[in-house]
Chains A and B, each alone.
Chain A
Amino acid sequence: MHEASLAGGVLQVVEDTARREGFSRLLELRLEAGALAGVDVRALRFALECLAPGTLLEGARIEIEEPTGLAWCLACSQTVTVRQRGDACPACGSYQLQVTGGMELRVLDMRVSDD
């Protein structure tokens, strides 16, 4: 459900950028939602589609990258990939993991048109 609010956050960033950069049309928007960011990417995409009509998002192509979850395993002293929180270290089975990546929730960049 909170993906609707996040879509609002995306639109806000786009509108702020439009004001600053003075473009008229958004062609392509690239987002990043990490595997451990607490976001359902399908729900976020749906929320963006619902929000788009009448806004700068309308007609824009939206790409959402999903960086893998990464954690430092304290037991085996290495960086490992985790699918979700609560997963064990795939190498040694320990739960002593410190998440180090996959929490990104960002607007990366956009391609715009001035015509």
Chain B
Amino acid sequence: MCVVCGCSEHVTPHQEHAHAHAPEADPVAKNPINGDLHFGAGAARVSVPGMSQARAIKIETDILDANNRVAQQNRAHFEAHGVTALNLVSSPGSGKTTLLCATIEALKARAPDLHVAVIEGDQQTSFDADRIRATGAPAVQVNTGKGCHLDAPMVAEAFAQLHSHHDHPHDHGGDHLHHDRHHHGGHGLLFIENVGNLVCPAVWDLGEAAKVAILSVTEGEDKPLKYPDMFAAAQLMILNKIDLLPHVRFDVARCIALARQVNPNIEILQLSATTGEGMEAWLAWLLAGPGVARAARSQNVDVLKRRIAELEAQLAARG
């Protein structure tokens, strides 16, 4: 999807857009409607009586609707392929790629049948995908150009690339139907390494099972509070580079408290991708699948719902 106007054209410079934008509109001064009319007030929201040249249209469409529809297709697609997709988000330099390389190496020994693939998002270069490919795992680099995040259509295309370029056992015809689940020798893991940015990727659903936020101890411990939207959207926070803790001023307890302040349900793992410390818990989390945590969370929700029902019953009894 074009990052500039959201159209599906794959043209980067906006000037070259082939799709027709509407002809020029008159400036607002020519507007026949009285400027006093407040759009949000009363009946004017749906109709403007006595002004036949103007009409109101109710839309109520999510601005991210186009992205979210593709994200849902991705989700169904991953499901059909038996793939658990994780959206890895962090600042630049938190060690995402190093963590992925170490994870892929460790999984080779731990779960040799697991099919692991990576989609790498960066503004430029294929350095990260090259590093992943050096481990033997298939990887596709997505360069976003001026874009600050991956979106669902980018991931859809990258996933298709992974399948057309990497030992795919069967040929998908023109249209890609999933009457039966076709797995690649069992379950698969897809890591989507988002563009290093703790702001924008929080808003774009890619079709992932969970967002994993990575924070290294060389950054500030207060990042969860500085970039709350991302930590609120993440299911798991990984504190990376803990081997450096003796050399930096980083209050782990405060960092965890701040993350829980923003997201009371967030799971937290501490590890060092370089020394391997703490990797065992991360591998276990991956192999258990984020579905386990979801089940625990829905149990939590059930408990809360029961509590609400009890309180409502008490209220009713009082009333």
Contacts and interface: CB of A to CB of B under 8 A. Distances in A.
A109 B59 contact: yes
A97 B228 CA distance: 14
Given A8-B3, A112-B54, A59 B60 contact: no
B61 A106 contact: yes
Interface string B1-13: 0111111000000
Chain A interface size, under 10 / 10 to 19 / 20 to 34 / 35 or more = 35 or more
A56 B262 CA distance: 39
B56 A110 contact: yes
A-side binding surface: helix, strand, loop or mixed? mixed
Given A1-B148, A5-B6, A25-B26, A115 B58 contact: no
B228 A85 contact: yes
A100 interface: no
Interface in B22-38: 22, 24-28, 31-33
Contacts of A36: 229
A56 B63 contact: no
B160 interface: no
Most buried by A among B26, B39, B56, B64: B39
Interface residues of B, number: 59
A107 B60 CA distance: 5
Contacts of A12: 5-7, 66
A106 B33 CA distance: 24
B252 interface: no
Interface string A57-78: 0111101010000000010010
Interface string A37-60: 111000000000001001110111
A58 B63 contact: no
Given A38-B202, A63-B40, A110 B57 contact: yes
Nearest to B32: A113
B199 interface: yes
B228 A55 contact: no
Contacts of B114: none
B151 interface: yes
A1 B33 CA distance: 34
A111 B66 contact: no
Contacts of A38: 199, 202-203, 229
Most buried by A among B22, B60, B62, B64: B22
A85 B56 contact: no
9 contacts: A6-B64, A9-B65, A13-B65, A15-B22, A56-B21, A85-B229, A109-B46, A109-B57, A111-B48
